[in-house]
Amino acid sequence: MHFTVILGFIAGALYVASHYMKTMVPLRICEIVSNLLFVVYGFMYPSYPTFVLYGILIPLNSLRLYEMLQLIKKVRTSSQVELSMDWLKPFMHKRSYRKGDVLFNKGDHADELFYVVSGSCQVRELNLELSPGQIVGELGFLTTDHRRTQTIECIEDVEVLAITYDKVSELYFQNPTFGFYFLRLTSKRLLQNVERLERELQACRQPAPA
């Protein structure tokens, strides 16, 4: 009986400790161990309501732990693979532009991004050409006031697919692969801006020719 009481205290301590944990995997593991000890305690005491209650909680916590581990595995895989944009196309609508048209100007309000299907565009500020298969207009999604950070001009007849930022937000949280693709895309664009600024600073520091 003395051992059973000690077992109950240990189980209770683990249960309380699980409520102070900030990450889900250790929390679920701690709760499962606590549940197991409470099951043993309920059987040995005996306290059959305790035995039944924590016997039910063991598979429930085990299921949630399994789901969390699967999600972590999926996120790790998503961060390492390239995304095929075919699955995204049903959420987008088609638009056509002629050579010389401007998709958007720097400073314009931003509420959607574009996937280039055919033709080429140019980022004026970076003198960077965007070919088919690339996404443009994603940085406006990250700015606090949703403003365009650059001007995109069509240097050929262009066909694009457009998707609103509201739908992007929804897909970002539903699909880890798209979330990581979007992070890599925005990081690449920000690094391009940094490189451009560094080149401009370097040019300003060079002494003028005599």
Q: Are residues 194 and 125 part of one domain?
A: yes
Answer yes or no: are the C-beta atoms of 58 and 32 closer than 8 Å: yes
State the sign of the Cα–Cα–Cα–Cα dihedral 170, 173, 177, 183: positive
Q: Is 55 helix (H, G, I), strand (E, B) or coil?
A: helix
pLDDT of res. 168: 85
pLDDT of res. 179: 76
Buried b (16+ CB within 10 A) or exposed e, 11-20: beebbeebee
Q: Are residues 94 and 136 part of one domain?
A: yes
pLDDT of res. 34: 96
For every residue of 78-134, which 3-state class applies, written as one string? HCCCCCCHHHHHHHCEEEEECCCCEEECCCCECCEEEEEEECCEEECCCCEEECCCC
Q: Are residues 100 and 60 part of one domain?
A: no
Q: Are residues 102 and 19 part of one domain?
A: no
Q: Are residues 95 and 66 part of one domain?
A: no
Q: Are residues 92 and 65 part of one domain?
A: no
pLDDT of res. 174: 74
Q: Are residues 107 and 74 part of one domain?
A: no
pLDDT of res. 84: 64
Residue where a domain terminates, one of 52, 78, 104: 78
Beta-bridged to residue 128, according to DSSP, are 123
User: How many whole angstroms separate alpha carbon 183 and alpha carbon 85?
Assistant: 15
pLDDT of res. 146: 86
Per-residue pLDDT of the chain (210 residues; tens, 9 = 90+): 688 999 999 999 999 999 888 888 999 999 999 999 999 999 999 999 999 999 999 999 999 999 888 877 766 665 566 666 677 788 899 999 999 999 999 999 999 999 999 999 998 887 888 889 888 888 888 888 889 988 999 999 999 999 999 988 888 777 777 777 777 777 777 787 788 778 878 888 876 565
Residue where a domain terminates, one of 78, 101, 132: 78
Range of the domain at 14: 2-78
User: How many whole angstroms separate alpha carbon 104 and alpha carbon 114?
Assistant: 11
